[in-house]
Amino acid sequence: MRRYVYRGKILSLAVEDEHWEIVEHKDAVALLVSDPDRGVLFVEQYRPAIGRRTLEIPAGLIEEGESPEETALRELAEEAQLTGDLEKLAEFYVSPGFTDEKTHLFRVTNPRPASGTPDDDEDLTLRWRDPQEVLAESRAGRLAISASTLAGLLFALEEK
């Protein structure tokens, strides 16, 4: 039986069978946007949970009633003022040992300008970078990235 310890806007903490601690979390999307001349699009931002700035591919949470594709296009417009054509690359669980959060990874082709309103609490800087350099900096410990960014980088490097 699952007993809830906390219920929040994006996650809930439950204890199952008085043993397993489980974080129920909204699912998410992550977007691999690449351009042959500029590289891969990243978002640089401060992440309070780890106390430092990260470089991540655009991503966001799936809201009630949205499909992953709708969320992908909304997040791309909000974070990068872009839209594009979506290709689903993968879906994966972030850390299934304690959370049910699933990320849907999309490739964005034919990126073009779009209008979107950034979230009020987001302070983002867009950066186009070479995916090989980002991976090398991450491996050397000079750059913090997310798991979804690592997955996106692997697909980006597969293209080369």
Per-residue pLDDT averaged across 33-41, rounded? Answer: 93
Q: What is the pLDDT of residue 126?
A: 96
Give Cα 49 distance to the centre of its chain. Answer: 15
Of 48-52, 87-91, 155-159, the poorest mean pLDDT is in: 155-159
Give every CB contact of residue 136 below 8 A, 6+ residues apart in sequence.
none
Measure Cα distances from 57 to 5, 18, 23, 29, 105 in Å: 32, 37, 23, 10, 10
Per-residue pLDDT averaged across 81-87, rounded? Answer: 97
The percent of residues in the chain predicted with pLDDT above 70, rounded, is: 99
- With beta carbons less than 8 A apart as the criterion, state whether 31 and 76 touch: yes
Indicate whether 159 pLDDT > 90.
Answer: no
Alpha-carbon torsion (143, 147, 152, 155), positive or negative: positive
Tokens of 80: 């990068």
Give every CB contact of residue 4 below 8 A, 6+ residues apart in sequence.
12, 13, 14
Mean pLDDT of the residues in the chain:
95
Per-residue pLDDT averaged across 3-16, rounded? Answer: 97
Q: What is the pLDDT of residue 122?
A: 76
Q: What is the pLDDT of residue 133?
A: 97
